Amino acid sequence: MAHIVILGAGYAGLGTARKLAKIAPADTKIDLIDRNTKHVESIELYQVAAGSADADKISFDIRGVLPNNVNFIQANVSKIDYENKTVEFSDHDDMTYDYVVVGLGFRSENFGMEGADQYSYKLQDIPTAEKIYEVINSNIRNYKQSQDPNDLNIVVCGAGFTGIELLGELIDTAKILKAKYDVPEINITSVEMAPQILPMFDSELAKYAVDFLSKNGIKIMTSAKIKKIEPNAVVYTKGDSEEEQRIYANSIIWTVGVSGSDVIKDSGFEARRNRITVTDYLNVEDHPELYVIGDDSASMDPQSNRPLPTTGQLALAQAEVAAENIVADLKKQPQKKFVYKSKGTIASLGPSHGIAEITKPHLKLKGSMAALAKRFSFEQVLYEVGGIKGLQKK
Ligand code: NAD
């Protein structure tokens, strides 16, 4: 009897578990492991950070959506001893495996930036998302008493996907909190080192996003490289100038990039930012029983010769192929190469706006049509990770 151990119940792990449940031989033992009992829709974390959704709205009980032939174990993975095919835990006995699927997700990356951990708030999971809203809310509430203008200033560091979606969602948050606490204008600034934001989108769509955010009072600073974070200031340089400038705020949010799980580093894998380069079959060279997918894997894009950018959509596509390849190996059948066909890219700009580039049919959407597309794609993702029960959790 083969024992398959899946580490992490995010998009990658839950997707693999559900697929294996359908296609694995009946005598396969499938264990899914996560330190939490809930699956989190991490692509929606920005809503919790902006206070527009409760944690419950973007998470559901893992056991509630698992088929009967998948066993869930709540445990905290500390290391993968891949030479001895054993997983080690901080709170559970070691576990041996015949196949392991690593899908332990991402963490916020600070790139060694001075002050980032101490003076800014990262967005990486439910507790950090809740903390961000708590900080923003309490600073704005505090203004009447403190009269400190920095209480009304919010800075979002980094304007990648996470930063942009958070900024879009903060437009409504600022209006609600301004009225609630009867305070002057709330100032939201984005600090981004690249010369333009959303370079992965068609330039017309990217321009629409910039215009939309600017029209709604968000100040977007590009070519602004963050140098350090101080207790109530972001220190940056602009363009080629080396002169340090400061933007003051009591709510500083850090969305400057992510790394894979630290379990990768702690297990001694060769990796870059905790992402392991995988073969075309999604396993690791010399360790064919070890599959790595989602944010912990670097799956090469043959066109750009660079790792594919990590997304929930990519993790789900990898999960499908990893499950199929494990079963093919068990049955001594040929395995399938992973070829990624993106369905498109969507960035929300608050609850009812966004930009989207859909692959088939090729469509460029903006405004409410893009928000609708995002809604639809979110429901699809929920169905893929949770089936009908996942959808019903909403
Ligand atoms: P990211 O790496 O995509 O973006 C970080 C941004 O911070 C970049 O624009 C970068 O130029 C900027 N930055 C880095 N160092 C800086 C500095 N010193 N000063 C100023 N700016 C700096 O990270 P993310 O936005 O957290 O996203 C993480 C991953 O998750 C990405 O792969 C992203 O594609 C994915 N994601 C996708 C979606 C979606 O598809 N809708 C949503 C959220 C996240």
The ipTM estimated for the assembled molecules is 0.93
CA of 71 to the centre of ligand 1 (A): 34
**Cβ distance 253 to 121 under 8 Å?**
yes
Known catalytic residues are 165
Burial class of 359 by CB neighbour count within 10 A (0 to 12, 13 to 18, 19+): exposed
pLDDT surpassing 90 at residue 387:
no
Tokens of 227: 């140098």
pLDDT (mean) for 315-338: 97
Confidence of residue 393 (pLDDT cuts 50, 70, 90): low
Best mutation site among 256, 273, 342, 359 for ligand 1 pocket (most ligand atoms within 8 Å of CB):
256
Separation of CA 225 from chain center = 23
pLDDT surpassing 80 at residue 231:
yes
CA of 252 to the centre of ligand 1 (A): 16
Best mutation site among 46, 169, 189, 258 for ligand 1 pocket (most ligand atoms within 8 Å of CB):
258
pLDDT surpassing 60 at residue 261:
yes
For residue 325, the SS3 value is helix
Q: Which residues approach ligand 1 with their CB closer than 6 A?
A: 43, 158-163, 165, 191-194, 225-226, 255-258, 309-311, 345-347
Residue among 10, 35, 9 at smallest CA distance from 91: 35
Confidence of residue 379 (pLDDT cuts 50, 70, 90): confident
pLDDT surpassing 70 at residue 179:
yes
